[in-house]
Amino acid sequence: MKFAIQWIRENLFAGWVSSAFTLLLIFVLWKTLPPFIDWAFLDAVWKPDSKACRAGEGACWGFIAEKHRFILFGTYPYDLHWRPAVATVLLIGLWIFSAIRLFWKWWLTLVWLSGLTTIGILMWGGILGLPYVENERWGGLILTLLLTTFGLAIAFPLSILLALGRRSDMPVIRGLSVGYIELIRGVPLISLLFMASVMLPLFLPSGVTIDKLLRAQIAMILFAAAYLAEVVRGGLQAIPRGQYDAAHALALPYWRRTYLIILPQALRISVPPLMNTFIAFFKDTSLVLIIGLFDLLSTIKISLNEPAWTGFGIEAYVFASLVYFVFCYAMSRYSRGLEHQR
């Protein structure tokens, strides 16, 4: 009890300004929280009945109950929804497993390869008695997670090479790196997705096609790599010059001193902005709607077009924001812990 009182005094009533803001916050919560609880829980309609929702005064969570499968799995065959469900759980499990520092061993790569192979078998099928499902029918949460996972996994090492190239003493390497980074950062992601979807097929030889999902993934990788490269470059520039001199004094080859001495320090410094870019990339996956791919947010927008459920956008986007918040907050909290680890 004494500790709680001390914490309240230090954090909520440390001075007259802090006390004023605390009282203002209490007043705002007193005015807004009870009506929100009534709307979101007490007066809410939970059963998937659009007529009951329109007759009620609270939130219509019945919309989520009715459309949750489409929101989570897109147009994937209804009777095969267990496959993307298992793939989603497996992919999230890989994220959590990789977040534990104890498992940062060489065999973690093998775990990821086996996990992604299993996810690919589940999503595509065509073997082991599983019906084949083309990736044009993938959608919902699993598509968001897959785009994020492959995008960051490939873009991050590419960004390190670009950052090192931009600081290279060789003019050609430096010029190519600068040109790529500035070109990609100078255009919005939507334009890259549009080019990948519409323009790229025009330049391919006759009879050669690239899958739409793969084109979108490549565009997102190129976009993320340019932004991550600048974050890594900032970390490289923040390292004291003495560290570079000490690395040279060890007479190690360039790649060994970069891998063993320079990069660990640069990446540690860059953890907060790196995670900020990761979170932004996770949310930017919603832009794939413009090329006909339906991620989590896209499936919600489509669900609202059904006449029976029009007008319930607040509930839909509250649900979407909750899903995004859970993933983004988890990444943010993890980065804070990682930043303070020694």
Which among 142, 140, 109, 110 is positioned nearest to 123, based on CA atoms? 142
Cβ–Cβ < 8 Å for 309, 303: yes
* 142: nearest Cα among 213, 195, 226: 213
Q: What is the average per-residue pLDDT within 314-324?
A: 89
Q: Strand, coil or helix: what is 262? A: helix
Say if pTM beats, i.e. exceeds, 0.85.
Answer: yes
- Alpha carbon separation from 183 to 93, 163, 203, 222, 297 (Å, rounded): 36, 15, 20, 11, 28
Mean pLDDT to the nearest integer, 156-160: 93
12: burial class by Cβ within 10 Å (0-12, 13-18, 19+)? Answer: middle
Query: Closest by alpha carbon to 189, among 231, 156, 226?
Result: 226
Q: CA 133: distance to chain centroid?
A: 25
At 188-228, the pLDDT tens digits run 888 888 888 777 777 777 776 777 888 888 889 999 999 99
Q: What is the pLDDT, as a whole number, of residue 115? A: 92
Cα(310)–Cα(164) distance, integer angstroms: 51
